[in-house]
Each structure stands twice: as C-alpha cells, then as structure tokens.
Amino acid sequence: MPVVSSCYSAPRHPIVLCHGLFGFDKMGPDTIPYLQIHYWKGIQKALTKLGAKVIVASVPKTGSIKRRAEALHRMLTNTVEGMHVNFLAHSMGGLDCRYLISHIHDKNYEVKSLTTLSTPHRGSPVMDWFRDSIGVGHLQHAEEEAMRKLGEAARLSKAAALDLQEALRAFQTAEESNNSFDTTTVPPPFSYSSQYTSTGSFAGPPPPPPSQSSGNPIISPLLNRLIPYLDTPAYANLTTDYCQNVFNPNTPDDPRVSYYSYGAAVKQIPVWAPLGIPWEIIKAKEGENDGLVSTHSARWGHYVGTEDADHWDLNNRYRLKIGYEQKPFDAIDFYMNIATLMYKEGH
C-alpha cells in the first residue's frame, strides 16, 4: 500500500467512484479477499486512508446511460440521504453522472462536483467503427426522440414537470421496443451522420436491410444472427453522433454543480496490444488519445490537464505492457491530487 503524503487533503464531502463500460465495483468471493478483483485497484483504500469517505458505485455494465444513471441514483438515495457528494467518474461513468445531474430531479442528496476521467463526452470513433463495420450500436429512433424531449424539459422551469414525465414514459416505451427487437435480422452497417440534416435534425431511421447479404454466403447470415446478442444499449450511446447531436444538446450542465475533466494520451500503443488498433482509429480521426477516448472528447467544464496514461491506467488496471512509449503511471498519486483539488475548491 503506497504511503499517502501529508501534502494531500481529503475533500469535505464523500467521493462517489463511478465506473465505465463493462465496469464493476469488485469481483470475487467476499470470504476470500485475496481472490477479489477491484475496478478501482488500491484507489478506494488510498482515498479512505487520506480521510475521505468513499462510495464505490456499481451500475449495469453495458446498460444505456439512462439505465445506469437511474441505478446510480437508486443506490445513492439509500446511502447518502441529506448529504453532499462529489462524483469521480471514469469513462462512460461521466455520462451517467451528467444524465443524473441534469435529468433526475427527485434527489434527496446534492451533487457538489463532477470530475470526469477520460469520459467520451463527444463520443468515440471506436464505437463509430464498430457500428459501421460490425453492425452493433444502432440507436432506435424512439430513444433519440425521448432524449430530445428530456432536453426540452431540462431547459424549462419546474412548471414543465409534465413534459419531463412524458419524456420518461417515452424512454420506457423505447426500452420496451428495444427488448422486443427481432433478433433474426440486423440492419446493415451505415453512416449514422448521414441520417442528420444540415441543421442537425434527424432525417429518418436507417435504411432497411438489403434483400441479399453481402460477403460470404455462409458466414454473413450467421454473423447477422449473432450480432443482436453482442449488441448492447451502451454501444449506441457512445458513438460520436449520439453524444454530439443527441446527448450533449439535451443534457445541459447544472450551474449549481462544478464540472472538472481530465484526459489521457500516450505517444504510441503497439498494434498487438488490446488498445493498439483503437488507438490508431482515434489517432486518424481526432488526434492524441488514450486508446479509447481522445483528449478532445474528454474535455468538459474546467479541463484540468492531460495525463501520460492509457485508458486503463486511469483506474490502476495492471497488465503486461510491452512496446509502450510511456513512463510508469502513478494512479494513486493521481487520485490524491484530484482529492486535494476537490478540497481546495471547497468540495
């Protein structure tokens, strides 16, 4: 366990750690702690030793932003009633928190700050590639319209509560529609951006599938049947088109909440590494990145800085790294500095 220096300070209010896509709080048996795997490896312990109250959230790993945000809200409702909290979110977790802050109003707690770590606020070209090349991540039109209604309600006064309820009902209908989606056919890859007009409005649903599958006549039908089981709501919510044209315009910041963000980037990731090809895809589209999110997409609110780290370094995930052009990243020191920043900012 690293020594926590006295030069750090704990924030005044609890920290809520919010994980990203495919994340978790911990895995493994409680009876044998040494066999457990923690998403925030060593981070919760270090923050607690510093004197911070830490809450580790657990939400649906691949759920939609809405579903994950609602799960986070239910957990906090039962654990921090009457308290102020600081959200500290990695990757997709930052989008969950933004949704909760802007669209969930019956909170019995108060959010003081949101700090996002390499959150794809403007989406990720990697998810665009999976959508266009593999066929996963197609947003249902009903969900998009429901999100726009939520945005309209969020921009109105409390007198618009009925509009908010209507939007939530529309979201429920959209989710039920997604659950009953016919898994025997899947739309072909398409350019989502082409579905928008020059004004940014939706031009219509994606084109219907062609009468004959392209490619190998044996493999393609099998792949088409498999894709629906691989697809998840989160994939569509992480595309650049959804984040920039649907989520961001309809999820206004709360002026009562302080927003901070960090990005991460490495000079090169070997192509044989798990993040190697994604790094190349993003590099070609948006420049410097951490293997899943560019620094351009990570910026939101007050941008504190860019860390010399890849996406998985930020939650202290250990793995063998060969061929990286990167110095060792001290995740514990990184989080100690974030906690100290919260303290200095009055949170």
> Which is higher by pLDDT, 289 or 323?
289
Residue type, 318: Y
**302 falls within a domain:** yes
- Kindly report the pTM of this predicted structure: 0.77
Query: Does residue 33 form part of some domain?
Result: yes
Give the C-alpha separation, 76 to 56, whole Å: 10
Per the prediction, the chain carries an average pLDDT of 79
Q: Which of 6-20, 69-83, 133-147, 280-294 has the lowest mean pLDDT?
A: 133-147
Paired with 26 in beta bridges are: 38
Q: Is position 250 within any domain? A: yes
**Residue 49 counted as domain residue:** yes
Residue 8 lies in a domain: no
In which band, very low, low, confident or very high, does the pLDDT at 20 lie, cut at 50, 70 and 90? confident
Whether residue 263 contacts residue 293, with contact meaning beta carbons closer than 8 Å, is answered with yes
Is 314 a domain residue? Answer: yes
Q: Please give the pLDDT value at position 53.
A: 95
- For 138, 178, 213, 235, 277, the CA distances from 223, given in Å and listed in that order, are 16, 20, 10, 18, 22
What would the 3-class secondary structure string for the chain be?
A: CCCCCCCCCCCCCCEEEECCCCCCCEECCCCCHHHCEECCCCHHHHHHHHCCCEEECCCCCCCCHHHHHHHHHHHHHHHCCCCEEEEEEECCHHHHHHHHHHHCCCCCCEEEEEEEECCCCCCCHHHHHHHHHHCCCCCCHHHHHHHHHHHHHHCCCHHHHHHHHHHHHHHHHHHHHHHCCCCCCCCCCCCHHHHECCCCCECCCCCCCCCCCCCCCCHHHHHHHHHHHHCCHHHHHCCHHHHHHHHHHHCCCCCCCEEEEEEEECCCCCCCCCCHHHHHHHHHHHCCECCCCEHHHHCCCEEEEEEECCCCHHHCCCCCCCCCCCCCCCHHHHHHHHHHHHHHCCC
Q: How confident is the model at residue 151 (pLDDT cuts 50, 70, 90)?
A: confident
Classify residue 82: in a domain, yes or no.
yes
Backbone angles phi, psi at 190, to 5 degrees: -150, 165
Number of domains in the chain: 1
What backbone phi and psi angles, to 5 degrees, belong to 110? -125, 130
- Report whether pLDDT(230) > 60: yes
- CATH number of the CATH domain containing 90: 3.40.50.1820
Least confident of 56-60, 73-77, 120-124, 332-336: 56-60
Mean pLDDT of 304-317: 91
Domain range holding 94?
15-121+246-345
Q: With respect to residue 31, please indicate whether it lies within any of the assigned structural domains.
A: yes
d(CA 200, CA 229): 31
Structure tokens at 129: 């590639």
d(CA 255, CA 253): 6
d(CA 275, CA 52): 33
